[in-house]
Structure 1
Amino acid sequence: MSRNKSVFNDKQRILRLYSILISKQAMSVDQIEDLFFVGQKTVQRDIAAIREFLADLQQGEEIKSEVVYDRKMKKYKITERDHLFEVFDKINSEENPFYF
């Protein structure tokens, strides 16, 4: 498959993929490759970056929200999205010492 140059840089691509996954959409490797004009290795690196971000985000808590590969659907998806939104609420609360 011929690849066109992506209009996204690495960070933009990873953030876009994350936003797609968090919006309840599951994506196959082929869909990700076609959307961003990248190869399978890049997809693997991007998924690893999102997994690392989610683990860091849930530091100090049980990790419930993560990117998993659903073998039945043959797609990546994020588990326990509601838990993730609870984590975001804690991070953004005024009681958080890092809240601006």
Structure 2
Amino acid sequence: MSRQKAVFNDKQRILRLYSILISKQAMSVDQIEDLFFVGQKTVQRDIAAIREFLSELQINEEIKSEVVYDRKVKKYKITNRDHLFELFDKINSEENPFFY
């Protein structure tokens, strides 16, 4: 049975990659390339976009979550995931002025 090629636009692909990484899954460059049918340069750009998003999201935070490359297992992963979930809770709380 052949694997059908899923078509993602840039934003969909980056969001999907981010959701995979935040759900505890580390991914190698090869796995990312195979999942999204993209090349290494696209993977690098997508990882850079996620890093930029996380950096901007955590601008005033003491603890930082980042996308790092684990050389031992040769995979990308997100550090301090629990902190990110706490940050999202804070952002989504009713005290947040963006909801008014």
| Residue of structure 2 equivalent to 1:45 | 45
For normalisation by structure 1, the TM-score amounts to 0.91
Q: What code does the residue aligned with 1:61 have?
A: E
Moved runs in structure 1, 4+ residues, more than 3 A?
none
Q: What code does the residue aligned with 1:54 have?
A: L
| Distance in 1 separating the partners of 2:39 and 2:9 | 14
Pair 1:29 & 2:14 matched: no
**Structure 2: where are the runs of 5+ without partners?**
none
| Residue of structure 1 equivalent to 2:58 | 58
Matched length: 97
In the TM superposition, what is the alpha-carbon distance from 1:15 to its structure 2 partner? 0.3
Q: Does the Cα contact within 8 Å between 1:55 and 1:63 map onto a contact in 2?
A: no
Q: Does the Cα contact within 8 Å between 1:6 and 1:38 map onto a contact in 2?
A: no
| Distance in 2 separating the partners of 1:99 and 1:74 | 41
**Structure 1: where are the runs of 5+ without partners?**
none
| Distance in 2 separating the partners of 1:71 and 1:59 | 27
Point out the structure with the larger helix share.
2
- Over residues 56-92 of structure 1, what are the superposed CA-to-partner deviations in whole Å (9 max), with x where a residue is unaligned? 1112112421100000010000000000001001100
| Distance in 2 separating the partners of 1:99 and 1:90 | 12
Aligned residues: CA RMSD: 1.5
Q: Does the Cα contact within 8 Å between 1:67 and 1:79 map onto a contact in 2?
A: yes
Q: What code does the residue aligned with 1:9 have?
A: N
Percent identity, please: 89
| Distance in 1 separating the partners of 2:81 and 2:17 | 15
